[in-house]
Each structure stands twice: as C-alpha cells, then as structure tokens.
Structure 1
C-alpha cells in the first residue's frame, strides 16, 4: 500500500511540474492578450479582455488561481469552442487512445518476433537485413513516412482513406506510421535482452534436457527478458503520444494531438493547458502501470 501512495504522489508531482511549466511558458511567449485577440482590436477591447481573463492581476496571483482551478478540473473556457477546455479535450481523448494503443500493439507485433529472430540467428544474413530495417525505421521522419503512405496507399492505389476517423481502414495508416517510428527501439531492446538471456546457464540446461527450441525461447528466455522489454514499451507509449501530435495533424485524425496544434496556432491557451495536463496524466499513468507489471513479473522487485 505504501508503494501505491508513493506512485500516486509521484503522479501528482509530475502533473504539478508540467502544469507549472506550461503556465509560465505561456506568459514567457509574450502578452497572451495580444496573441489571443486579432491585430485590429482596439485598446478598450484589449483592456476589457485582459480584465476578463484575469491577466491584469499580478502573475503570482494568476498562478495561484490557475492551480486552484486546475485542481477542480477547470482550465477555463476554450476561446475557439466557447466551452470548458477540459470537456473539449475529453471529447478527443478516445481518438488519441485508440490510435496510440493500436500503434503500440502493432509495434509489439512487429518488434518482438523480429527481435527474437534476430537474436536467435545472430550474425546471419537475415539478421543483417533486420538490422538494416531497424536503421531505416529510425532514420525516417514520422511526417515523411505518413506522407509516403498516403501517396502510395491512398492517392495511387486507393486502398485506404487518407484522412479522418470513422472505420478501421482510417486507423491503419496513422497507426502503422507510429508503429514504424517506435518499433526499431523496441526491436533493439528485445534483441539485446534475448542475447543476454540466451547465454545464461539455465538456458543451456533447458536445452540439454531435450526441450523443444520453441519452449526454450518463448517459455524460458522471453519471460526472463521481459522486464527491460516492458520498460521500453511503457516509455514508448509516452513517445507515441508525442508522435501522435504530428501523425494526427498529417492524417487529420481528430485527437488531442491535432487539437493541441490547432490550439497553439489560434493562441487558445486555456485549451493548450488542458491538453498538456491530460497528456501528462496519461504518460504518468502508463509509467505507473509499467511499475505494476514489474512486480507481477518479478515479485522480488519492490516499489521502493
């Protein structure tokens, strides 16, 4: 129970730090009022809006009010949508989670079998081809991959829709774009972890007992190599959320990533703050889930 409270406290501290950074960065970027209002706004309109938003108060007072309201789930009204910012973000969360989770699953399906194959067939021609594929995957910018997929499968072959959300077909290209972006890192960790485990004495003992190679690889080796693999997968979800900002914009996927880009362009700062805090909450929760998986795989690991 003590470990659970420590994890909850860490999540709270992370959210506090992220929200504080977001608040002060907004004010360091310039006068928020001048950024939010059109250039033709009169001085009276500027003064009235500054008073309405509370920007005429001392910065310390604005910060305290922001924290008090944020704890209550109130980030202010979106200037574009004219409704509570948190409600706007929560409407987009399902789309982002759908894309991120499917991309994670797809990257696992790609990375784990190839990583195991690469470790078992070390220094072979096929292993070298896998290594080349890893370098290619890591070197391609995510927006370039997305555009190339759109041109090939959407524009030329007409197999998949190029934008929007609605059917499973809409999900394939943006999810694959994200998966190709993160799978190489997972593949490298799988390969290195499996190479280390396959050299252990208990693997040689299992083989000497006449166990089938598949049993040795998947039941004994993979289970003991799972902790670093789960670690990188957990951190990759946070990376996927960052990549979703670009991917959702390229494919016009109506998630939080696309929303935060539009909010930044339109200087909708209440909405920006809500997006940042919610995304930080998701990442912190995923890290907590990874720690819980540690204790499941190896009860000797203590949360402290």
Structure 2
C-alpha cells in the first residue's frame, strides 16, 4: 500500500506541475495582457510601460518559472482591484465554496445511493423506471435554472429560505440542493449499474445460500464492491462542484471563490483569475489522488495491479 501511495503521489506532483503551466499559459494565449490591463484606448507608450511594470516583456518561460517559484511559497501576486494579496483574498473566500461543495456532495449521495440501490434491487419495475426518469430530469435541467426555480418558490413565494448571502447555514440550503441535484443522476446511474452487476456474482449467491439477512448481503457484501467506481466519481464531482460554483454562487450571491472568479473576470483582475484556476486544478489533482488511494484500500486488486 505504501509503494502504491508513493507512486500515485509522484504522479500527482508531475500532473500538478503540468496543470500549473497550463493555468499560467491560458491567460497568455487569450491575448496581450498588457493591452487588457492598460485598456483598449491606451497609447502604445502606456502599454509598453504596463508591459515593463509587470514583466510581460520577458520570455514566457522566465515569467512562468518566477511565478511558479512564488506560487510554491504561497505568493500568487497582488490583486489589481482589491487592496490585498491574491492568496489572502482566495483564502478568505475558500471556506464558503468548500462548505457549499461539501454540502452539495452530501446531498447528491443522499439522493443517489438509496435510489441506485433500490433501482438495482427492483430492476425493470416501475421503481427502476421512476428512478431513471428522475435521473434524466435532473441532468437535463440546467443547475442555474433549477436554482432560479428554488429562489422563486422557496425564497420569494413561500419565504422559507433566504435567497442570497452566506451569513447562516440557511443561506446554503438552496445552493447546496441545486449543486447536489445536478450531480446526483450520474452517481445514481453508476450505483445502479454497479449493484446490478455485483448482485449476480457468485459470492453474493453464496452469501444468500448461507442464510445471511438481505440487509447484510446488500449493504456489507454487494455495496462495498459496487461503490468503488462511485468513490472515484465523487472526487470528480466534488471538483466539478468547486468549478461549477461560479454559476451557483453568482445566482445566490454567495461570497465564495466562484463569485470571486466572476468578479475578477469582469474586472480583468488577471492575477486573481490565474490563482483561482491554479487552486481549482490542484484540487482536482488532490481529489483524484485521494480517490485512487481510497479505491486501493477498498479493493486490494487495484494496488496489486
């Protein structure tokens, strides 16, 4: 297990460096940053002065090496709009986004796991078709539209929940449900498919022949093997929630990194955009590493392979 973990950790470091390079290059290939910072009506002298001030006239490799060295030490530069560093700005908004994504993933699992298990046990019945219908509707409806519907009914019409802000846990209810509802269908289908495959295995028939209770057969023997691909997908879904929070946080006016990214893009605050891109990408790498280790712990065949 230790050797498997070290190999995956080394691979994650390589991917992390590659991701940092991509995050750095994306803004460079999108156009001339000096012109964007100076403004479309700026004179050539002003543009050249901006290029000199921010070091944009140096070779791109030199710029990336210096930026990476500062990023490793936690220095992501300073915001062009806010009077503070990018790192402090992101860290002040990150708890909101992490709380939202974590709550959304929990809600997605609370919806998808029971539905997936029940649909697999009641395969080809109205229960199975109903669960698949819910999955289709959930994935077909855009999350921002579902969020707006929730605001209209539960916020404006019924007045049960606040529609914006992040002051109390009640402010996270509708955004978390919106995120979870959109991610639940794919998790439900994967759970159902895994359970259908596992329930026809020889060891499940043996467990039933031994007279084990149905609850033990399903939850202890079948679910443990069926949930392995779900664990890997959860890491991807959590990363999707972090990146997809740009839309949800904008709809519900939550002061997280998603809303910060929208503000930074609209204000051309490129250091903040670059820092958020790097952070979200590294979260994907870390979550994938965690999923690999957890899958290897659940299934010894993975680490032996």
Superposed pair shares fold, TM > 0.5: yes
Partner of 1:171: 172
- The alignment status of 1:2 with 2:3, answered yes or no, reads yes
Partner of 1:64: 65
Task: Give yes or no for contact 1:37–1:46 (8 Å, CA) kept in 2.
Answer: yes
- The alignment status of 1:141 with 2:138, answered yes or no, reads no
- The alignment status of 1:81 with 2:91, answered yes or no, reads no
- The alignment status of 1:155 with 2:178, answered yes or no, reads no
Partner of 1:23: 24
Task: Give yes or no for contact 1:189–1:229 (8 Å, CA) kept in 2.
Answer: yes
Aligned-partner Cα distance in 2 for 1:4–1:218: 28
Q: Alpha-carbon deviation of 1:41?
A: 4.4
Q: Alpha-carbon deviation of 1:58?
A: 3.0
Structure 1 residues 277 and 104, CA, compared in 2 at 3 Å: closer, same or farther? Answer: same
Report the TM-score, using the length of structure 1 for normalisation: 0.94
Task: Give yes or no for contact 2:19–2:282 (8 Å, CA) kept in 1.
Answer: no
Task: Give yes or no for contact 1:18–1:277 (8 Å, CA) kept in 2.
Answer: yes
Structure 1 residue runs without a partner (length 5+): none
Q: Alpha-carbon deviation of 1:136?
A: 0.3
Q: Alpha-carbon deviations, 1:63-119, whole Å to 9, x = none?
A: 332222222222211101132211111111111110111111111111000000000
What does residue range 1-304 of structure 1 map to in structure 2 within 5 Å?
1-39=2-40, 41=42, 43-302=44-303
Pick which of 57-66 and 38-47 moved more. Answer: 38-47
- 2:303 is paired with a residue whose SS is coil
Task: Give yes or no for contact 1:18–1:276 (8 Å, CA) kept in 2.
Answer: no
Report the TM-score, using the length of structure 2 for normalisation: 0.93
- 1:74 is paired with a residue whose SS is coil
Aligned-partner Cα distance in 2 for 1:139–1:303: 39
- Structure 1 runs (4+) deviating above 6 angstroms are none
Pick which of 83-92 and 186-195 moved more. Answer: 83-92
Structure 1 residues 15 and 265, CA, compared in 2 at 3 Å: closer, same or farther? Answer: farther
Q: Alpha-carbon deviation of 1:132?
A: 0.7
Aligned-partner Cα distance in 2 for 1:88–1:225: 41
Q: Alpha-carbon deviation of 1:159?
A: 0.8
Q: Alpha-carbon deviations, 1:120-148, whole Å to 9, x = none?
A: 01111121111111100110111111111
Aligned-partner Cα distance in 1 for 2:265–2:271: 10
Task: Give yes or no for contact 1:15–1:277 (8 Å, CA) kept in 2.
Answer: no
Aligned-partner Cα distance in 2 for 1:221–1:71: 43
Aligned-partner Cα distance in 1 for 2:47–2:84: 21
Q: Alpha-carbon deviations, 1:243-282, whole Å to 9, x = none?
A: 2121111111111111112112211111111111111121
Aligned-partner Cα distance in 2 for 1:209–1:57: 73
- 1:301 is paired with a residue whose SS is helix
